[in-house]
Chains A and B, each alone.
Chain A
């Protein structure tokens, strides 16, 4: 039994033991059982011509290799205003990264590379941020203070992000519950990462400095769907102003998740709201698994303080290594180190996320903190072992390992070995405490990997380069006058109109409600028909055609206006829509010509019914009534579309059949 440890079996059993269920099968009971708790930080770029603190254009992007010059920086931790070094700061300093910025003249001036102090804040951006704060029912501050928020990963060349609180303590109303908001801030966007290899991380500065707002919620969400809904509603609210950017990367969110007894973990930069449910589900269970690991370790290790891993350098030639990464490591002259983790047997292959085990947590940290490129390690509980058992026995002997121990073998440049060993010990110690505070990077499959240690509130500084900006009552009153309706009000209106609920997502995400309302009110059209036209027909057809850059939804309003003025049937809109989408500047008359449409009076079409009835009776393909109706409709449809409501025509036919 002792020698027959089966990692695969252990993985399966630990998964069952913590009670993991797939999201499909999970119920509110499951989430309550593990104490699911989640909140969001939703980032939204604002639609301004220029950046936030300099006069470079906003919204111009470049390819990775399209640059004019490079600037190199290193980041050092500094003290916060309250006199503390920040945890992340120290970790980032340990990694000793060289940060390379690729700069393009068109989008970057000396401000972005921190060779010029900030200019005055972009007023347009500030006004939009206030407007959205008001919409979010936040208490708007009396004076805006630009604050420096440290980021030592290099994503901002100054080493901090200039950011300012616009409002605090608001509320967002979902159809079924209220989500409290902590704050909304106006901030500058960061660089885009190009690569991160070894000790060199490369960024480009095109996006850097673009105005962005961040809406932060309380952790009020009790299941994954609520998190997604909250995120959607915040986005809808932002878009309802018509003053925010849309498209790839214009909206991103960080999701905070914890389970009962766990810690706040931040899943960074989630690109699609559709990913949120799986990510939060898995993260919550990962934390639950880490707590299970803690309980087991507690039972085995009485005194965690004196617990200590041991390590030995391995001589490549002393073993028969056939694992390719180990061969490559030897070729590169890397050190190969084996570590013994006393009493960790069964932990490395403990389930954490679908397809991932506890051992992955070490590998990920070795990559980020010690800069060891992947693959950087293997271990004693691999489902498919990379080191043969006789070699592993030798390693265990070398380490003087006990039966209840587990072993890691990792490799990398000699200079990074100390940090790597520290990193491994640190992660083990964190296992005694449960869930480390950290930020994690998300993947489409719903899993996450370690990204950074979660920064605390200790990384905030007042920005000595900017003066505070007073927000007078008059300004706020002025901005309040032009606010759009609340999303929840619009939601209720759509309900009232009996519009199918599956259209709402599209209507809100494209901010089509104001246009629908205008079309309905100005042209006195049926709201259900119009809203459904936008939410179903438009959505379906728009997906099939490419619209030009300057396409505006407003053209659809004019389409209906035209149909009304010309006394044409509104069904024509559906036929005309593809051409309108592709050629929004084309005259509606010309579109009708293209469609071979000819105006025919309703009575003229109706008059053909009796003739067709006689004809059908003659050919009589079938005795069924419906067949005769269908046949007659088929004959009349081409000339009827646009001239008569087809439902009316059916009724007319039914009269004679």
Chain B
């Protein structure tokens, strides 16, 4: 009970509130050494110190009172805030596609938590409609929250639950699926779902937001509109990530779940297709295809759900002068698969060779990917590469490191046979390895160069 009326307060600050009998949401008059203060006591973030009490003053601002300066304090009233987004039932419009929004948590669906002072994943379907009414012009939306975790807490268990839920929805006849997801590991989930949900007859669109929906300039609303449009009206029946193209509110890009990566910690346009072009551009007006070859939408319901994953897989980001004991200890801990993220064309130092040999002898599957992110592993170019291949390290082509990690876990979830694992790993499911890298698949321009500056002055990036 105490917890409820002193939300978030602890230690000395909690003692002070108790001493003067003032509750959270109580209006208080406080005499301090610095003069009097009046306001409503707000919950305090659990991570903040125990020396201050938070007040919302009459002008709407929050301030903190140092408890060491408090001389006298009195509760003069009580006014609990009712934080609620107007919840409205999502209207049904005939002739619009049926789209299912699956909630997993993250900033696409979030609001403020006064206990932690942070954004928490909680946003009911009705609230969603209350906040983004335009969705009703795009589709008939139903929603389901299958779990509420932060992006960084998504893992194999959630991938498998999600894959099964998607399978069920497709069987039930939904015409498109949108998955609301935190952005940090959006691309991991994109890869996992590509492998676990195969031959989908409908689009499966992962979407998040880089600015939480409690901000006026949030990208959440537009991302949701783009995602529901792609899911309901689009012809691309693949697992995709839908996020801002440029940082401006203009259009979104649809990226393949296996070729996409988060490339900036905070930009809106953080997701980029690596080593290829995105699938398409999407705005509220329609979809503009970029790649002409893709899996088309179908009427059947013949989806194949493959919810497998072994958590005995790990990643090793190589650094110069790495010692072999790292690999030894991974093997000792029982890991069955290691994705190495090597330098240049796919290299590690000679010192590791004995450890690699020992690992291979134990049947550990090792795959080489690249720190350069772009490009192919080329282990034939130098002797060292050939040495490593001889010792059992398999080049993973231009598979992105995170994708290789997910795929190896998925493969080892199906079999322990290294040969079968190799077959699975090297057989592309959906461009996880591509045969060709188009010339415009690598574009990282540098600011300051006159033609680049001219370009960004005219074209929103």
What residues of chain A have their CB less than 8 Å away from a CB belonging to chain B? 67-79, 81-83, 85, 89, 105, 110, 113-117, 138-145, 147-150, 152, 157-160, 163-165, 168-169, 182-183, 185, 216, 456-462, 464, 467-468, 470-473, 476
Contacts and interface: CB of A to CB of B under 8 A. Distances in A.
A68 B453 contact: yes
B414 to A, nearest CB: 41
Nearest to A115: B267
Given A70-B460, A74-B249, A78-B214, A460 B34 contact: no
A114 B249 CA distance: 12
**What 3 A-B pairs come out closest when comparing CB atoms?**
A143-B64, A159-B216, A142-B66
A83 B83 contact: yes
A85 B210 CA distance: 23
Contacts of A157: 217
Interface of B: 32-37, 48-49, 51-52, 54, 56-69, 81-86, 111-112, 114, 117-119, 131, 210-218, 221-222, 247-250, 264-268, 447, 453, 456-457, 460-461
A140 B84 CA distance: 33
Contact of B215 (A70, A145, A160): A160
A277 to B, nearest CB: 27
Contact of B66 (A148, A216, A470): A470
A474 to B, nearest CB: 12
Interface centre among A76, A157, A159, A169 (most CB of B within 10 A): A76
Nearest to A80: B60
A586 B218 CA distance: 57
A145 B216 contact: no
Nearest to A105: B447
Contacts of B265: 116
Contacts of B67: 142
Given A83-B82, A110-B267, A470-B49, A145 B64 contact: yes
A464 B118 contact: yes
Interface centre among B35, B69, B118 (most CB of A within 10 A): B35
A460 B55 CA distance: 13
Contacts of B66: 142-143, 470-473
Contacts of B218: 76, 78, 159
B248 A460 contact: no
B52 A457 contact: no
A468 B60 contact: no
Contact of B63 (A70, A75, A158, A168): A168
B214 A461 contact: yes
A114 B244 CA distance: 14
A163 B57 CA distance: 14
B32 A145 contact: no
A28 B211 CA distance: 53
Contacts of A216: 59
B247 A460 contact: no
A12 B216 CA distance: 46
B32 A139 contact: yes
Given A82-B81, A142-B63, A165-B59, 12 more contacts: A73-B249, A74-B222, A74-B249, A75-B217, A79-B85, A114-B217, A183-B59, A460-B56, A468-B48, A468-B64, A470-B64, A473-B66
A79 B83 contact: yes
Contact of A140 (B34, B212, B213, B456): B34
Contacts of A67: 457
A142 B69 contact: yes
A363 to B, nearest CB: 28
Contacts of B82: 82-83
Contacts of B216: 75-78, 89, 150, 152, 158-160
Contact of A464 (B86, B117, B267, B460): B117
A139 B36 contact: yes
A145 B457 contact: no
Nearest to A466: B117
A607 to B, nearest CB: 69
A460 B49 CA distance: 23
A9 to B, nearest CB: 46
Contacts of B68: 473
Contact of B217 (A117, A139, A158, A183): A158
Contacts of B61: 145, 147, 163-165, 183, 185, 460
Contacts of A468: 48, 52, 54, 64
A169 B35 contact: yes
Given A70-B460, A71-B247, A139-B37, A115 B266 contact: yes
